[in-house]
């Protein structure tokens, strides 16, 4: 199997080999320090089980949080190893580090089919610096590298790029599935192709708007992102979230629509607003009272967006339509989530808040693909070369 020119774990012999697998187990922890959402662990189970069933000795490496090169016991991989033990139904011991002599001993003692979790790789300053010496040490105790962490494929770190200079390197099954699903949006996608973008910032998604705006049939905007576009139309949105320094960029996108360099952009026709001490009300974007804030798209907009989505053959959605965590401002995001779930074409969603929304509204099993990528997915859809993928393409031969 080949995806985006990258060899995969299905293309190589792994029996008896010590295999370093970069996974993205950067998961939320609850107040008790336990894994609160194991979706990312479950997403990499196919790769882990593939290796185990073929007699590989599996060494998992991931980061958790942002310890900035220092040991932080609160960000230990211990709860992740414990949860993975439950999911696999077999012990997954936690190594005391990543490159120390004791870790080398533990790797050497692994039996075929065994799994070992290394400690948080970002406890080492050499990880984010892509330090050649650290990458060499990390690679020195194994025989093969598998990158199954699409969520950090946009990071040029030691565990995503550096190790490929020292090891035969291939893609894991999750990474392959991400490339296939996201690549289908660029290949070109089956039309009509509708892109739904929300969230807080235009700056996070400007590249996606530029690239997909040339490929899609319609862009549907919501959330704080839409506020900035509405401001670019000259509207006063009271105290709403607006990226003032991006209004000019939003105006350029709207100008591109006029001269055919971008597909049509739909903005909210009505919005849900609230003040500090007032109940919410529904108003047109031109009617936001002074001191009030836009917190969701209104029912007319929900219906229009749902109609566009229903007619689409391909849908990509990233970013909520409002403050969906609060029930009084959840209707817009819920309406989009249900519309995407009802669509029988290719439906791809991405972004942490979007995944949280579909989980909250119970439609997570009704989309074609829910990307674990976040920022990596956005950069891929911008058309950028991701360092982790580029490294696999030029990695050592198997």
Contacts of 51 (CB under 8 A, 6+ apart): 9, 14, 19, 21, 58, 146
40: annotated active-site residue: yes
Find the helix or strand (DSSP H, E) in which 348 lies: strand 346-350
Selected catalytic residue, list 252, 375, 384, 393: 375
From 388, 389, 367, 394, select the one nearest 181 (Cα to Cα): 367
332: annotated active-site residue: no
DSSP 16: T
Find the helix or strand (DSSP H, E) in which 115 lies: strand 115-117
Contacts of 365 (CB under 8 A, 6+ apart): none
Contacts of 320 (CB under 8 A, 6+ apart): 198, 199, 222, 223, 332, 333, 353, 354, 357
Bridge partners (DSSP) listed for residue 246: none
DSSP 145: E
State phi, psi for 370 to the nearest 5 degrees. -110, 105
- Distance (Å, whole) CA 232 – CA 150: 34
Selected catalytic residue, list 18, 40, 54, 293: 40
214: annotated active-site residue: no
- Alpha carbon dihedral 9, 13, 17, 20, in 10-degree steps, equals -10
From 23, 308, 316, 288, select the one nearest 145 (Cα to Cα): 23
375: annotated active-site residue: yes
Residue 371: both structure tokens together: 């990307």
Residue 389: both structure tokens together: 């993928």
Selected catalytic residue, list 78, 104, 136, 201: 201
Selected catalytic residue, list 55, 275, 352, 360: 352
User: Any idea which residue has 């911008």 for tokens?
Assistant: 382
Give the number of other Cβ atoms within 10 Å of residue 200's Cβ.
17
What amino acid positions are annotated as catalytic residues? 40, 201, 352, 375
């Amino acid at each position: 199997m080949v995806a985006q020119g990258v060899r995969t774990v299905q293309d190589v012999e792994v029996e008896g080999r010590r295999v370093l697998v970069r996974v993205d187990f950067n998961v939320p922890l609850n107040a008790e320090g336990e894994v609160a959402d194991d979706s990312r662990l479950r997403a990499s189970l196919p790769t882990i089980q593939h290796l185990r069933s073929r007699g590989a000795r599996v060494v998992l490496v991931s980061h958790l949080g942002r310890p900035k090169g220092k040991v932080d016991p609160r960000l230990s991989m211990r709860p992740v190893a414990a949860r993975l033990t439950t999911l696999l139904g077999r012990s997954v011991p936690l190594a005391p580090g990543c490159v120390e002599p004791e870790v080398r001993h533990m790797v050497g003692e692994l039996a075929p089919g065994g799994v070992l979790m290394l400690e948080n790789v970002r406890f080492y300053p050499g990880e984010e610096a892509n330090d050649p010496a650290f990458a060499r040490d990390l690679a020195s105790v194994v025989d093969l590298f598998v990158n199954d962490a699409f969520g950090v494929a946009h990071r040029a770190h030691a565990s995503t790029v550096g190790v490929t200079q020292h090891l035969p390197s291939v893609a894991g099954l999750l990474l392959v599935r991400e490339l296939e699903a996201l690549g289908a949006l660029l290949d070109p996608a089956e039309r009509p192709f509708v892109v739904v973008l929300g969230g807080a910032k235009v700056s996070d998604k400007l590249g996606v708007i530029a690239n997909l705006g040339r490929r899609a049939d319609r862009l549907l905007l919501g959330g704080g992102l839409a506020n900035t576009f509405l401001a670019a139309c000259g509207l006063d949105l009271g105290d709403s979230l607006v990226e003032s320094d991006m209004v000019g960029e939003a105006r350029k996108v709207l100008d591109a629509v006029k001269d055919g360099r971008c597909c049509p952009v739909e903005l909210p026709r009505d919005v849900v607003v609230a003040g500090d001490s007032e109940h919410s009300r529904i108003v047109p974007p031109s009617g936001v009272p002074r001191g009030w804030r836009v917190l969701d798209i209104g029912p007319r907009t929900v219906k229009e967006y749902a109609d566009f989505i229903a007619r689409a053959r391909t849908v990509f959605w990233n970013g909520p339509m409002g403050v969906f965590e609060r029930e009084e401002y959840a209707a817009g995001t819920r309406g989009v989530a249900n519309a995407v779930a009802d669509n029988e074409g290719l439906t791809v969603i991405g972004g942490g808040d979007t995944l949280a929304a579909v989980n909250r509204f119970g439609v997570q099993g009704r989309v074609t693909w829910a990307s674990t990528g976040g920022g990596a997915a956005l950069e891929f859809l911008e058309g950028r070369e991701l360092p982790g993928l580029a490294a696999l393409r030029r990695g050592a031969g198997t």
